[in-house]
A = this chain, B = another copy of it.
Amino acid sequence: MGTSRTGAAGAASRISVSRTGRTAPAPRTGLKSPPSVSPSLPLDQILLGDCIANLEKLPAESVDVVFADPPYNLQLEQSLTRPDHSLVDAVDDDWDKFASFADYDAFTRAWLLGVRRVMKKNATLWVIGSYHNIFRVGAALQDLNFWLLNDIVWRKANPMPNFRGRRFTNAHETMIWASKSADAKNYTFHYEALKAGNDDVQMRSDWHLPICTGEERLKGEDGRKVHPTQKPEALLARILLSSSNPGDVVLDPFFGSGTTGAVAKKLGRHFIGLERDPAYAKAARARIDAAEQLSGVSIAAPPEKRAEVRVPFLALIEGGHVKPGETLVDERRRYTATVRADGTLALDSIVGSIHKIGSLVQGLPACNGWTFWHVKRDGKLVCIDDFRAKVRAEMAA
């Protein structure tokens, strides 16, 4: 999306985006602790200058999610349009050609390392590209010990046709979603909300969205498009909604026309944009100033199952929902167990948790006792998970 590349002037200047400063706090839910935001972060600003130099000025482990639309390296085509070589020659002797890929790889490693340093432990990174560069980016990510979570295909609803009829219509771009390392497992992913917004089926790795046209496309005074590869806001919205929370800090090292910043503002996220070209930065700033944050309820962090308070089975006994000595039974009435006063179950002489006894009677390695066990109430079976929901509601009230 942007042009922040190596070789630009060293000094970076800041373009403050006035109306989205820290004075507008992002909406918070009561469930999560506020995100830790480093006080020295240039929030909601565009840093002008070389991408890698500016990355080095940001504090380590300070951003929650990164979206990067690096240069696609299309200029390589020219250096590769050459007479055929035998393969050994191509690798050993054609230094010029090899150097082009090596240059791109070195640039890729440099900005990835810079980004890696400023990512929080459980931050994730999105990179978008086409077949010209995405394979090199993906390999570099793996080499640098990033952990690939998904590759996402953006299927363009209205792609550019192939004019020569010599290839398939190039109708998609590829995004890679990665965490800092394989053991950074506590990254943000709003599984439940994505599923609910997708007709109650899981969100897939192929996304169907239109390219950026019409009103949304930034035009200069001459009526021509400001930026050649402006990404649609719907794409960034899905990315930020799926992998960030309100109040999070979103970094875009190739800010370009500022789609990331505009969507971040609308969705109540903070952004930091790096951009080398002053003309792009200026257009992006105006665009973001004109954007408005959506109302709280429509962008508040969705509730997550995992964040719900833990209710021990003992609390059901203490709350009078289940009585010691009562018999639990599975839905198909094949197995029974007896409730003990300490919140364990008894099966003959074996005593264990609702999960342990549930797995034992079924001969399975694991069992969610909450959904497995039932009690009789008014002649009907009631799942003990219903009582847990009641206890949770009582605790919240």
Contact = CB atoms under 8 A, between A and B. Distances in A.
Interface residues of A, number: 125
A324 B180 contact: no
A286 interface: no
A182 interface: yes
Contact of A184 (B84, B143, B294): B84
Given A147-B80, A172-B205, A318-B209, A340 B297 contact: yes
Given A85-B365, A206-B172, A131 B151 contact: yes
Contacts of A342: 190, 193-194, 196-197, 241-242, 302
B364 A85 contact: yes
Contacts of A185: 166
Contacts of A145: 80, 85, 87, 90-91, 94, 97
A18 interface: no
A110 interface: no
A132 interface: yes
A97 B299 CA distance: 41
Contacts of A250: none
B142 A197 contact: no
28 contacts: A80-B182, A87-B116, A101-B142, A131-B148, A134-B135, A135-B136, A138-B139, A150-B168, A150-B170, A153-B172, A166-B185, A166-B189, A168-B242, A172-B205, A197-B353, A200-B353, A209-B318, A210-B319, A237-B341, A241-B341, A294-B325, A294-B341, A298-B338, A298-B339, A299-B324, A300-B340, A300-B346, A302-B342
Given A82-B183, A197-B353, 12 more contacts: A81-B366, A87-B113, A131-B138, A131-B150, A135-B138, A161-B202, A169-B203, A171-B204, A193-B344, A294-B325, A302-B342, A303-B351
Interface of A: 77, 80-85, 87, 90-91, 94, 97-98, 101, 113, 116-117, 121, 130-132, 134-139, 141-145, 147-153, 155, 157, 159, 161-162, 165-172, 174, 176-177, 180-185, 189-200, 202-206, 208-210, 234, 237-238, 241-242, 267, 294-295, 297-300, 302-303, 310, 312-315, 317-319, 324-325, 338-344, 346, 349, 351-353, 355-356, 364-367, 394-395
